Amino acid sequence: LTFPLLSVTLLVSFGSSMLYGYNLAVVNSPAEHIKTFYNATWSQRYGHGLAPGPLTLLYSLTVSIFALGGLVGSLLVGVLVERYGRNGTLSRSALLVLLAGGFMGFSRELASPEMVIIGRAITGLHSGRCSLGCRAVQDSFLTAWPPSAHSQGTGGDYVFPMATGFLGLIPSIFICLGVFSAQVLGLPELLGKDRFWPLFLSVVVVPTSLQLLLLHCFPESPRYLLIERNDVCGATKALHRFLGTLDVQYVVEEMKKEQRSLSSVEMVSVWQLLQDRSVRWQTLSVVVVNAGMQLSGIDAIWFYTNTIFENAGIPVSQIPYTTVGTGAIEVVAGLIGCFTIEKLGRRPLIITGFCAMGICSAGITISLLLQTALPWMSYISVACVVGIIAGFCMGPAGVPFLMTAELFTQSHRPAAYIVGGSLNWLCNFTVGFIFPFLQMSAGAFCYLVFCGVCLLVALYVYVIIPETKNKTFMEISHIFA
């Protein structure tokens, strides 16, 4: 693993995954300030404030429209990468963040809640387009090992080398760092005050600008240059940089073989994937794991952490610091998953993660029901929230993306990514939009919904999905059969 290869991996994750995590958590701390702004603006325009129901609806839309933008962006990734490559797509996506930052940063000056909502939608569009980040990490790493260096698959396809598990979880580490950054900046001593919330939302322009400047210091993906653009000279120069050696001809030859094999392989559409009986269990597994990842309740925790802690009886003055503490534990849990995935495998991490989340979701319900009689139950609620976040970051945060890549050949993989990514964003939107209303109607019992989802997904993985570490597609397919 050379320094340039690791550097571009970190840079891609910094400007895509970290921003995704930041935008998940950035609306948590200033929630009351944003609602007050909406109410005041509505009163200026129409002479009366918003009732609690419509105000909650408007704020829920602000939170969840990020996911709708992400859905649209993720559907455009394939076309954009094919046309502009990894660097070109990321550069164009970065310009969207600068636009979104302007909308959100000047929204209060112009008394326009619509600008906040539009800005959130645009940041979601950027995050969806930068779901390329996870694939770019795998793409960059695969460049370092030609197919002959490890097991061959079918149709010119090949399995991922062992360390892909490690690098494949790096984006999830940066998601955790993004969430943690939003929690720290949301402290009252920093940007957590009422007058700073537009600046707090628009801070996203800083890492984006940095990525935009540094991205041009790195060459384009060699596989893209050779396979998509047929630029042998450019791919050779890029390989010199990435591999740190002049002897790259054997890698070029292997990629040429891959190019010839891919030209003979017909790519499967989403509809064909759903109809293909030979991979029906793999497709169902992608659906279950990706939908379960978002319906596990993790988005409710990230979007509405302060509200959850307030309902749990934590003093308002202590909530921001409690939230930061959970974020720090989240980063540690993500690092544990990153460094243990190749020793433990995919299945143990994802099963343990979902089980921990399910048990802790039930624990929140019990602690909320008993907190009137037992005041110390509020600390149990905090511990359960920490357990949900830690369980998620250790496995479900990153393993589904790896499994999607490892369950399919190259011909089926793009369609599988579309299915998994679309479900990810749709479920993200669903949880972000309905959770406040679910909490109002079901109270403490709303967390039992997440508990049921987590335990059912863990059971499905235990019964149906095999371990994919160090296995070819044919071996995985035989186990499914």
- Domains assigned to the chain: 1-147+156-218 (1.20.1250.20), 268-480 (1.20.1250.20)
> Residues 20-42: what's their mean pLDDT?
90
Cβ pair 313, 38 in contact under 8 A? no
228 has a pLDDT exceeding 60: yes
Higher-scoring residue by pLDDT: 112, 373: 112
pLDDT of residue 150: 40
pLDDT of residue 142: 46
pLDDT of residue 157: 42
Spatial distance between the Cα atoms of 275 and 285, rounded to a whole number of angstroms: 15
pLDDT of residue 158: 38
Instruction: Please return the burial class of 241, using the count of CB atoms within 10 Å of its CB with bins 0-12, 13-18 and 19+.
Output: middle
Percentage, residues of the chain above pLDDT 70: 86
Higher-scoring residue by pLDDT: 465, 8: 465
Tens digit of each residue's pLDDT (9 = 90 or more) over 247-265: 778 778 877 877 777 666 6
pLDDT of residue 156: 38
Q: Where are the alpha helices (DSSP H) in 312-412?
A: 319-344, 346-370, 377-394, 399-406
Tens digit of each residue's pLDDT (9 = 90 or more) over 123-139: 988 888 766 544 544 44
pLDDT band at 360 (very low <50, low <70, confident <90, very high): very high
pLDDT band at 239 (very low <50, low <70, confident <90, very high): confident
pLDDT of residue 337: 74
pLDDT of residue 1: 54
pLDDT of residue 131: 62
Tens digit of each residue's pLDDT (9 = 90 or more) over 340-354: 776 777 888 889 999
pLDDT band at 148 (very low <50, low <70, confident <90, very high): very low
User: For residue 389, what are the CA distances in angstroms to 122, 300, 356, 397?
Assistant: 26, 11, 9, 10
20 has a pLDDT exceeding 50: yes
419 has a pLDDT exceeding 70: yes
Cβ pair 68, 80 in contact under 8 A? no
Cβ pair 218, 48 in contact under 8 A? no
Q: What's the whole-model pTM score? A: 0.82
CB atoms closer than 10 angstroms to residue 234: 16
104 has a pLDDT exceeding 90: yes
pLDDT band at 152 (very low <50, low <70, confident <90, very high): very low
pLDDT of residue 146: 44
pLDDT of residue 89: 73
Sign of CA dihedral 283, 285, 290, 291: positive
> Residues 364-388: what's their mean pLDDT?
86
78 has a pLDDT exceeding 70: no
Determine the 3-state secondary structure of 16 from DSSP. coil
How much is the mean pLDDT over the chain?
Answer: 81
Contact residues for 62 (Cβ-Cβ < 8 A; gap 6+): 27, 34, 113, 116, 117, 120
**How many residues are present in the chain?**
481
pLDDT band at 403 (very low <50, low <70, confident <90, very high): confident
pLDDT of residue 149: 41
Spatial distance between the Cα atoms of 295 and 306, rounded to a whole number of angstroms: 20
> What's the token pair of residue 312?
């749990």
> Residues 443-449: what's their mean pLDDT?
89
381 has a pLDDT exceeding 50: yes
Determine the 3-state secondary structure of 302 from DSSP. helix
DSSP-assigned letters across all residues of 202-260: HTTHHHHHHHHHHHTTSPPPHHIIIIIT--HHHHHHHHHHHHS-S--HHHHHHHHHHHH
Spatial distance between the Cα atoms of 323 and 389, rounded to a whole number of angstroms: 11
Q: If you ran DSSP here, which 8-state letter would residue 151 be given?
A: -
Spatial distance between the Cα atoms of 6 and 137, rounded to a whole number of angstroms: 9
DSSP-assigned letters across all residues of 407-421: SS-TTTHHHHHHHHH
Contact residues for 47 (Cβ-Cβ < 8 A; gap 6+): none
pLDDT of residue 86: 67
Q: Which of 87-101, 164-178, 379-393 has the highest mean pLDDT?
A: 379-393
pLDDT of residue 356: 92
> Residues 36-59: what's their mean pLDDT?
90
Determine the 3-state secondary structure of 473 from DSSP. helix
In the chain, the amino acid numbered 419 is V
Of the candidates 124, 157, 127, which has an alpha carbon nearest to the alpha carbon of residue 142? 157
Of the candidates 259, 284, 239, 277, which has an alpha carbon nearest to the alpha carbon of residue 410? 259
Q: If you ran DSSP here, which 8-state letter would residue 397 be given?
A: T
pLDDT of residue 96: 86
Higher-scoring residue by pLDDT: 366, 394: 366
> Residues 85-92: what's their mean pLDDT?
72
Spatial distance between the Cα atoms of 341 and 456, rounded to a whole number of angstroms: 22
Spatial distance between the Cα atoms of 287 and 415, rounded to a whole number of angstroms: 12
> Residues 20-40: what's their mean pLDDT?
90
> Residues 422-441: what's their mean pLDDT?
88
Cα 59–Cα 65–Cα 66 angle in degrees, nearest 5: 110
pLDDT of residue 264: 67
